[in-house]
Structures are given as structure tokens and as C-alpha cells.
Amino acid sequence: MSDSVPCPRTATPRPGQAWFDDARFGIFIHWGVYAVSARGEWEIYRDAVPKEVYRGYAERFVADRFDPEAWAEQVAASGAKYVVLTAKHHDGFCMFDSRHTDWKVTRTPLGRDVVAEVADAVRAVGLRFGVYYSIWDLWHAGLDGGMAGIDAEGHAGFSEDPDAWRPSAAGIAYLHGQVEELLTGYGKIDLLWFDVRRAGAEAYDGARLMRRIRALQPDILVNDRLVLGDAEIEDPDLLPDIITPENKIPPRGLRDASGRPVRWESCMCLNEHWGYCRDDRSYRSPRAVMESIAEIASKGGNLLLNIGPTARGEFPEPWYGDVLRGTGRWLSRQGESVYGTGPMVISSRGEPVHRWFTDSFKWRVAYTQRGDTLYAHVLRSSVDGLLSLPAMDGYRIARITLMDDGSDVRFVRGSHLSRKPDEWTVMMPRHCGDDDSVVTLEIRLEPETALGDRGGAS
């Protein structure tokens, strides 16, 4: 079985983009006038809300508790290293002061440029900043083809035919103009997160747009939802930089057809909605988020965890706060096992092998690696407390410590499961954590010759 999941090609990494590989954890923020109804970002489509009702939400968008500095502090305390904020969602409402439309946040009672303020705040605390931009716009008039003139409310106007969504020249100009605004008026944008390409990239003059993006901000990362990494694309500047699976974690790492690892990021809701939904209390626990961070990092990806602020401009309590604080406490003590790490790479028969998981009936472990140090994140353990580790060609385990308190953990050569002499058995401490956190082992490796035939630590 292949040790990776095949995916489209991505652009050649640039030095100025290396921060993304070290970050491993970011926060997605979906905020717009849909927060007023508190029924999620898809309410207008799902419930067929009349346009005049939906537009009225803008008149009630007061956000009297919006404090971008408080947002930035909460995100930084969570251990996240970057923020992606919705500049425009599918309803077309702009959270920035676009000169191309009056359907924007600066024409609401809030009257402030949210993108500008959040960008300044997160940069001030040392975080990277990106913007989300929906290519598809429910109410924009620039549509030709079968959708021309349709008053699309709810699902009544949807079509599965890509040609029905081909934009007019005015629609293309609107898209390109707003992207230009975001990349020229808001400082350095680290990540441009496109969404919902209803027609092919050529319909949006995607090649010209990508070249303009690269010219304006050479180090920017662009996701895979404008131009896909199709085989026929010859210009490397047109390829996306990251692949973005949604609300799922691939079973293995992602590689293109040539076998080259690609950058990827799994975006996930904290509950079942991207925008704030008052009645959706199905929140992930802090531990579940920790497990996702560890698993995704072990496969070479990043987690982009979503938050939907309320209409008053706050992160909902206690759920978001509990998750952010809990994740932050864990990463403050064990972040070394996540930040700047990659998949566990060992050698077998002279060839590199990526080992992300020990996933069996008893154990579920996510491995990361930095140099000669492995990190084993114990996601599920066995009552017998015996963890089997794989063989490491040319290396032996020199020491294992519990990251939380730095104490030694006992181990011996030889697996208690397979009885293979080149594998290892770890005797997990009886009390090494709690149900609300992920236990992490730090495993120091040394070349086989450096240790002779010495056994494990006690």
C-alpha cells in the first residue's frame, strides 16, 4: 500500500513560505452578517431567506463588543500561529471597505474595516494573517449562461452545470478588483484562501489572476480552490501552494503523482457550522482538537480550526474559550512535539519510510520527528501499559521521557507483540496524564554504534 494519498501538483515552495511548515495550527474565523440570525452561514440558502430580510441583517450588525486585540490575544494563547479571516463569504458581504460595492461592513452600524483591524491585531502579537475570499457570490449580477437573471434564494437557483455559473466580464472584473484591493491595501497577506469555484478556472481568467497575485505578493500562499494543480498546467506560478481537505483528515500524507510531498491544511469546524449557530452545541472537546493537531502534524499537514464569532463580536463562551484555553495549555507544555516537526521518517532497506501511526486495537499513536528526536502522541492506550515501537534502521533509542514532567520512561529492546528483536517495548507510566489531554513521549535516538548493545532506561 502506498504511504501517501495522491493529489494534484502544487507550486515549488518559496523560502518566504517556510513559516507554514512550522506552524501546524491556525485559526479560521467565519464572521459576517449571518451571525445576526445565529443560524449558521448557510441559512440564506438552506432556509430560503428572502433577500430583503437577509439584507436587513446588515442594519443590525452592531458588534458592540468587537475587540480585535482581544481576538488576537485569545488566538495567540491557543497556540495557533496564524489566522485566516473571511473577507467575503458566499453571501457577498464584504468584511473590508471595498470600493466595488456598498454591501460591506463599513456601511453597517459597526462601521469599521474588520479585515484591517484584525490584520493589525494579529500581526502585533506575532501571528501570520490570511484572508478567505469566496469566488462564488450569491447576489453578484455578473453571471452569464443558464443562471443569468435568476433571483437565487435558497437552493432554488442552484445548478450543477458549471457553464451556468460562468461570470460575465463585469463579474471577472469584480473578482479581480477585490483581490487586488486585499493584496494592496492590507499589508503583507500570508495566505489567500479561495473557496467555491463554481466554474472552471478559465471562466474567471484564473491564470491572469494567479500571475497578478504572485506579482503583488511573491511569498503569499494560495490554496487549491481557484486553480487546481492539473497535469496540463505548465507554468509553475499557476499552481496552488496548498491542498485543503475540508472537515476530514487524510488517511496518510499527501503527495503528487511524482511522489513529492505537498503542503496541505485540513480546515475543520469546531461544531457543525462555520458561522455562529446558537443552537449547535455539538462542540469538539479540547482533547479532540489536540488529537487532530497531533494526527495532522504526524502526516505533514496543518489544522485550520474554525471559530464563528457572535453578532456582538465575541468568541462564544464557554465552548470556544474552553477549547482555545485547553489547547493553549497543552501546546505551551508540549508544543515542541508539533511546531516545526514533520512525519516520522525511518529507513528500511535503504529507503525512507514514513510512519505516521501505530493504529491497532490497543494503541493509537501519532508520530512526529525533528532531527534525531521522535515524538509519540498517545491518542489511545492499552490497559496493559505496553507500547510497541517500530524498528529504526541504523538507530537505537537512547532515552524516552514524558514531555509533561520530563520524567524518564522505561523501555526495552524487542516487541512484546511481534517478538521482533529490532522493535521496542515501552512501559508506559501508570499515571502520566488525564482524560483531557494528550500524553506525549519524547524519544531520543542515537546511531546504533554509539550505544553498543546497551538496553533500555529505567
The answer on pLDDT for 1 being more than 70 is no
State the average pLDDT over residues 316-335.
91
Say if residue 434 is exposed, middle or buried (CB neighbours under 10 Å; 0-12, 13-18, 19+). Answer: exposed
Q: What are phi and psi of 399, to 5 degrees?
A: -160, 145
**83 neighbors 118 (Cβ within 8 angstroms):** yes
pLDDT for res 160: 62
The answer on pLDDT for 351 being more than 70 is no
Cis-peptide, bond into residue 318, ω within 30° of zero: yes
The model's pLDDT over 193-229, given as tens digits with 9 standing for 90+, comes to 999 766 667 778 888 999 999 999 999 999 998 876 5
Name which of 148-162, 204-218, 241-255, 402-416 the model is least confident about.
Answer: 148-162
The model's pLDDT over 308-318, given as tens digits with 9 standing for 90+, comes to 999 999 999 88
| Grid cell listed for 452 | 553498543
Residue 193's nearest CA partner among 255, 281, 267 is: 267
- Lookup result for grid cell 453578532: 311
The answer on pLDDT for 347 being more than 60 is no
State the average pLDDT over residues 366-393.
87
Q: Rounding to the nearest 10 degrees, give the CA dihedral for residues 66, 72, 73, 78.
A: 120
The answer on pLDDT for 439 being more than 70 is yes
State the average pLDDT over residues 325-340.
96
In whole angstroms, what separates CA 58 from the centre of its chain? 29
More confident call, 127 vs 148: 127
Residue 118 pLDDT level (bands cut at 50, 70, 90):
very high
Residue 260 pLDDT level (bands cut at 50, 70, 90):
confident
The answer on pLDDT for 147 being more than 60 is no
In this prediction the pTM is 0.91
pLDDT for res 155: 39
The verdict on domain 4-337 having CATH code 3.50.50.60 is no
pLDDT for res 140: 60
The domains spanning 4-337 and 343-451 adopt the same CATH topology: no
State the average pLDDT over residues 158-164.
63
Residue 33's nearest CA partner among 94, 76, 78 is: 94
Residue 457 pLDDT level (bands cut at 50, 70, 90):
very low
Which residues, at least 6 apart from 422, have a Cβ–Cβ distance to it below 8 Å?
A: 391, 413
3-state secondary structure the chain: CCCEEECCCCCCCCHHHCHHHHHCEEEEECCCHHHCCCECCCHHHHCCCCHHHHHHHHHCCCCCCCCHHHHHHHHHHCCCCEEEEEEECCCCCECCCCCCCCCEHHHCCCCCCHHHHHHHHHHHCCCEEEEEEECCCCCCCCECHHHCCCCCCCCCCCCCCHHHHCECHHHHHHHHHHHHHHHHHCCCCCEEEEECCCCCHHHHCHHHHHHHHHHHCCCCEECCCCCCCCCCCCCHHHCCCCECCECCCCCCEEECCCCCECCEEEEECCCCCCCCECCCCCCCCHHHHHHHHHHHHHCCCEEEEEECCCCCCCCCCCHHHHHHHHHHHHHHHHHHHCCCCEEEEEEECCEEEEECEEECCCCEEEEEEECCEEEEEEEECCCCCEEEECCCCCEEEEEEEECCCCCECEEEECCCCCCCCCCEEEECCCCCCCCCCCEEEEEEEEEHHHHCCCCCCC
The answer on pLDDT for 454 being more than 60 is no
Residue 63 pLDDT level (bands cut at 50, 70, 90):
very high
Say if strands 395-402 and 128-134 run parallel, antiparallel, or are unpaired: unpaired
State the average pLDDT over residues 425-442.
84
pLDDT for res 360: 55
Amino acid at 253: G
CATH number assigned to the domain covering 343-451: 2.60.40.1180
Name which of 86-100, 117-131, 148-162 the model is least confident about.
Answer: 148-162
pLDDT for res 356: 60
pLDDT for res 419: 65
Amino acid at 265: E
The answer on pLDDT for 233 being more than 80 is no
pLDDT for res 458: 38
The answer on pLDDT for 38 being more than 90 is no
- Mean pLDDT for the chain overall: 86
More confident call, 157 vs 192: 192
Name which of 32-36, 42-46, 70-74, 392-396 the model is least confident about.
Answer: 42-46
Q: For a pLDDT cut of 90, what percent of the chain falls above it?
A: 56
pLDDT for res 293: 98
Amino acid at 406: G
Q: Give the max Cα distance, the chain.
A: 78
Domains of the chain, by residue range, sit at 4-337, 343-451
